[in-house]
Structure 1
């Protein structure tokens, strides 16, 4: 029987019960993928991050309750929070190595953490009819990134009021669909529906902002932006476009510390 430290962290928020919860398992060495998938399913959160030391850096991977994913922002933020707050990691920056997304850096600045992620590449796309039916309203613009669709609407109220048919969204081949619009109090708002990875609506999605940031930066003519994800839990993000990289800043708080046996 192996004992593993487990933390549950609310990311992109400064309060417990806000933002997006993620589990973080700090390992000495990699477990079998099947075991990590079972742990993520047992945790039953949007994502569980697993980290393993690699010299002064860490390797990282992420699982939803059903699949391993290419990139997860909020669980990376949560993992960095755990290493800074609970393991005594001394440097102000942590380098994570992902086998699917390359080098990811998280920098600590007082109580804020900044993710440094690769930017997504967007191309205009036809709007899948299933999305229009599922959401009940056609978007003004539609784009396709590496894994997700991005649908642009005219107002924050549009994004707030969606009550989508998740089963219908699940029929489109994509990790998920991001719906976004100009914000009333922030530069832009969004929501993210991703049933194909086992999550009807993700509360706050760092990886989706690698898609959102280049779009809104070009549209608004600015590099620095404030964003809000309008799930029930909500989340606040400070976003910056830096060429082929994006910086996403948020806070995180620990909800739970424990130990699991596998």
Structure 2
């Protein structure tokens, strides 16, 4: 089982006719069916540790405003998996993280929007894991490393965020309804650098992206939407292969890139 990074985009990705949504709808056919899914969402923010959802029946959270009424009617009634949640907490604690389970945590749109497209039947158990906006990429890469063993048990780890996330610039296009517009150079230069470093498995440079990548601050005024990428990288295993699985851009500045992280063949055979 690979680990994945998905760009969930605007909440209306769930109902929009976009290239990214179409790719997400096809994704399940390209993967083994997971026995459970672990989602690390940019919208599940907890400082001072890692929170893991142990709610057996998570609610669907509509954590946004100003969208079409049909978006608020969507429910994603996938079950939780409290036993898996407690196991993840133990694994994180063993890796040195302050981690605990929470009995009441629903699916924010970073979780349910992509899942509703990938697995619309909502019949696979889902556990949510938080990001810590006070910590950086290295911390979240280590979180992913602590989750790397899940793939060997048929559990799919998904980091859900955005490859670029300058909402101020995106809202300019959103206000005039322009979803498909030209991509500025500062976005292309950043995504090009990130893509090259991911393909080269250059973990050190990626962890230092805010100092090394061109236009890092402009593409990510804050870190939280890129942090799930580092969890997915870590969950893919040391020395794994990163593959760009989908590439499109919305509102000119929201890169909807999706990445797949596969363990090295030797590690997979050993497992």
Q: TM-score range by the shorter chain?
A: under 0.3
User: Comparing both chains, which one has the higher relative contact order based on Cα–Cα distances under 8 Å and sequence gaps of 6 or more?
Assistant: 2
TM superposition score normalised by structure 1: 0.26
Higher strand share: 1
Higher helix share: 2
